[in-house]
Structure 1
Amino acid sequence: MTESHASARPGAAPGQPPGGTAREDPEDVLGRLGGSWTWMLGSALATLLPGILLLVWPDATLQVVAVLFGLYLLVTGAFRFVAVFGQDRGERVPGLLTAVLYVLAGVLCMRNPLQTIAALSVIVGVVWLVSGLLTAYAALAAKDLPHRGVLFGAALLGIVAGIVVLALPSESAVALTRLLGLWLVLLGLMELAVAFAWRAAIRRITA
């Protein structure tokens, strides 16, 4: 993620009412929020916690797995949408596409939680593969990212996860639950590394 373009505005804004305070642009507010390391930490936890739940509850029914994974996709999509505003405008397209993909896939999972294992596997595999490719592109294109290598590593992990799920479809709900839980934990740990790398970069800049 690149440096946030949101900044404090000194002085009164044009057209500001006498004695009043300037209205802050929502884009600037979202930019500061999405560009903060704590927001990245929240996104990482939103990935890690469902993974832990799936690993400690491998006998969950397919319906529970679909709902849990759907909630993960919707929450992560919201996190990624806000994070887009922390990027320079010319670099927002991959992040925006990823956010839309997560939300659409989350809606599909929540809309029909009684779907087959094969259908859920396809949704999961496509989401991880496409989002991994988009994240890898963003990491390679934004050369000024201080945590570029870690982000690229997380993207590769997502690509591998997508390929594994698509190429080796699970034959049982238990196998799919364990596979999803494992990959979510690994992805969550990588996202935690990205968040802490971003915090270290911010501290170096402000020191």
Structure 2
Amino acid sequence: MLDYLVRHWWVLILRGAIAIVFGLLAVIWPAVTLVVLAVLFGLYALVDGAMAGVAAFRAGAGDRTPLIIEAAIGVLFGIVALVWPGFTVLALALVIGAWAVVTGVFEIAAAVRLRRELDHEWLYIVSGVLSVAFGIVIWFIPGVGLAAVALLIGVYAILFGAVLIALGLRIRTEGRNRGIIA
């Protein structure tokens, strides 16, 4: 495998550069990043729904109702995501907010129960309070939460790209040291 990587070290650098460009775009234009993700979800849901529909009609005898419903819901959600990507992004923010509030409440409840068995359970309470606060902020200012998600995606892509470039350069050096490449 090393021989292959050495001969194609430039592919790692190219992948890294593309990741860095994507990451920078995600950081600079988070709204565009989120709309693209919503459109990709819409395409996925539409294709998945269509495939479920094909499976429903090829299933033969028996009750195909669940597959037909799955197909219809997939196609419907796909169309909604493609026609209204902003709505899809907003819905995602509200779901993330709800998830944060619910998990935060349960973290606080678990901390209260752990009081008898664990020192420093207040850290668990703090994590629950932070989750609840984050969820409430997303509910009232969904753009902030979504911008944070896009920012995290961007930072990840930049770091990932930098690591791939470093790996590509390291492999090129190793190939030169072993005499595999000039």
TM-score (norm 1): 0.33
Larger Rg: 2
Higher relative contact order at CA 8 Å, sep ≥6: structure 1 or structure 2?
2
Q: Which is helix-richer, 1 or 2? A: 2
TM-score (norm 2): 0.37
